[in-house]
Amino acid sequence: MRKILNLLIYVILIAVGILMVFPFIWMLLSAFKTPEEIQSLPLTFLPQKPGLNNFRYVLSQGLFLRWYINSLIVALVVTTSVALFASLAGYALAKFRFAGSKLIFIGILSTMMVPLQMLIIPWYIACVKLSLVDTYLGIAFPGLTSAFGVFLMRQFMLTLPDDLLDAARIDGASELRIFFSVVIPLVKPALAALAIFTFISNWDAFLWPLIITSSPKMRTLPVGLQFFADQFGVQFHYIMAASALVVLPVLFVFLILQRQIIRGVTLSGLKV
């Protein structure tokens, strides 16, 4: 009976996985199809005459490559900033005892309850005052710090043994040396997960880049892709190729950092 139940669970999980992956696979395959294949009936799953013409055309049109570079710059800057500052804040809140530390942590967590729409106007006013409208720093401005990142890193750092840090202090290491040489190598799985979440959320961001950018050359990919879709209308082979190009960096980041998450299991011997 147990084997039958396990088999049923696996079948359900596989079916759900196929349903989730199928639209993505269809998009990738459609990017290699000709216009005739996409509009033909009955529909074909595999491209009959696969080619890269759709990708070449998309990359040669307008500012698509510039939008690609804009998104990469903003996503990498924000991911690096969040990883650094969230780790530093998480380390301070997890391993240092000072008056008001819990209150500060609660205050940071409370910012996660504020809807994004309520912050748009204060962010925009601040960017106007600082002359950050239509700039890379202006696009990255709201995401340079992350309350979720601080929470994640603090909770993970609480599992690190204090004896290990005290031993480093006895050896004469400074707090920054302890942080970069001892703490960071031990929290790589959490740092990798935070980097993936941050990169994806900023790569997919639409509302704020749409508001803060005024010139076409400063648009990010999600905003540019909307205008791209409006421009090409029902030419789905170009839209699918553009969408496939948008997805590639996210897959690349995940494939690089997923091993760090799996390595979190190796920390089980150090947890207290």
pLDDT tens track of the chain, all 272 residues?
777 888 888 889 888 888 888 888 888 888 888 777 777 777 777 777 777 788 888 787 768 888 888 999 999 999 999 999 999 999 999 888 888 888 888 888 888 888 888 888 899 999 999 988 899 999 998 888 889 899 988 888 888 888 888 888 888 888 888 888 888 888 888 888 888 888 888 888 888 998 998 888 888 888 888 777 666 666 777 778 888 888 888 777 777 766 765 654 444 333 43
What integer pLDDT is reported at residue 261 of this predicted model?
59
User: CATH no. for residue 106?
Assistant: 1.10.3720.10
Structural domain including 148 reads: 62-269
Answer yes or no: is 97 within a domain.
yes
What integer pLDDT is reported at residue 74 of this predicted model?
93
Residue whose tokens read 């080619």: 51
Answer yes or no: is 45 within a domain.
no
Answer yes or no: is 39 within a domain.
no
Answer yes or no: is 48 within a domain.
no
Contacts of 115 (CB under 8 A, 6+ apart): none
254: closest CA among 202, 204, 200, 205?
A: 200
Q: How many domains are there within the chain?
A: 1
Residue whose tokens read 């890193």: 153
| CA-based end-to-end distance of the chain | 38
For residues 139 and 186, give the distance between their C-alpha atoms in angstroms, rounded to a whole number.
Answer: 32
- Please give the model's pTM, rounded to 2 decimal places: 0.79
For residues 244 and 226, give the distance between their C-alpha atoms in angstroms, rounded to a whole number.
Answer: 14
Answer yes or no: is 30 within a domain.
no
Answer yes or no: is 146 within a domain.
yes
Answer yes or no: is 234 within a domain.
yes
For residues 137 and 47, give the distance between their C-alpha atoms in angstroms, rounded to a whole number.
Answer: 42
Answer yes or no: is 189 within a domain.
yes
* C-alpha torsion sign, points 248, 249, 253, 256: positive
